[in-house]
């Protein structure tokens, strides 16, 4: 009963996790256009990070972590590029050619014993301590998604109270850059 005339027959294909980066005009509603495209077409957003990166040209860089079959990922890219304020879309595969980093701020609350144990784990993961009180501290970790997941899992029993994280940002390795359709480096 699950067959539908509307879907691509791709049941067997495996889902890839990819990072899609879009350079967009920094204007009202642009984020709604991008996120609306994902929800409207049934694509998944795992995380999304956005900020202005080019003051002069008023361009923002949106980094979306998503998953889908190969053809769905191609569609996401094509549909994104169709949006009028989108200048360029690039796909970053989880491989050796790109750097992926995510930032997380994690608050621990508890008694001295508990916090001591938590701190020990934090030191193992080379986190930075941002705010310390006798009953709490906030740790900052900049790392891969997997390592942050790992850290959270290990630290959880020791007073972990609150987490905020950015989702991954992506950058190509080496001297390679990404250019827009006029050849300008983005």
Residues sharing a CB contact under 8 Å with residue 70, sequence separation 6 or more, in sequence order: 13, 16
- Report the SS3 class of residue 126: coil
Q: One symbol per residue from 78 to 107: x for binding another protein (CB under 8 A), - otherwise; what is it?
A: xx-xxxxxxx--------------------
Q: One symbol per residue from 122 to 151: x for binding another protein (CB under 8 A), - otherwise; what is it?
A: ------------------------------
58 versus 162: smaller Cβ distance to another protein: 58
175 versus 181: smaller Cβ distance to another protein: 181
Task: Identify the DSSP state of 84.
Answer: T
Residues sharing a CB contact under 8 Å with residue 126, sequence separation 6 or more, in sequence order: 141
Cβ atoms within 10 Å, residue 54: 15
Cα(19)–Cα(168) distance, rounded to whole angstroms?
8
Among 47, 75, 140, 144, binds another protein (CB under 8 A): 75
Residues binding another protein (CB under 8 A) = 1, 3-9, 24-25, 28-29, 32-33, 36, 40, 71, 74-75, 78-79, 81-87, 180-182
């Amino acid at each position: 009963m699950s067959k539908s005339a509307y879907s691509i027959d791709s049941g067997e294909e495996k889902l890839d996790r990819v990072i899609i980066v879009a350079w967009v005009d920094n204007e009202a509603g642009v984020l709604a256009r991008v996120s609306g495209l994902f929800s409207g077409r049934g694509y998944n957003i795992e995380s999304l990070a956005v900020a202005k990166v080019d003051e002069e040209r008023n361009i923002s860089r949106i980094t979306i972590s998503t998953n889908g079959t190969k053809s769905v990922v191609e569609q996401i890219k094509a549909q994104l590029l169709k949006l009028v304020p989108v200048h360029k879309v690039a796909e970053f595969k989880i491989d050796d050619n790109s750097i992926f980093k995510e930032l997380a701020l994690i608050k621990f609350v508890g008694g001295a014993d508990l916090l001591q144990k938590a701190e020990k784990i934090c030191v193992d993961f080379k986190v930075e301590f941002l705010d310390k009180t006798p009953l709490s501290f906030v740790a900052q970790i900049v790392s891969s998604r997997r390592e942050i997941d790992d850290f959270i899992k290990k630290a959880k029993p020791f007073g972990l109270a609150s987490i905020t994280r950015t989702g991954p940002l992506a950058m190509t390795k080496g001297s390679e850059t990404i250019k827009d359709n006029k050849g300008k480096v983005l």
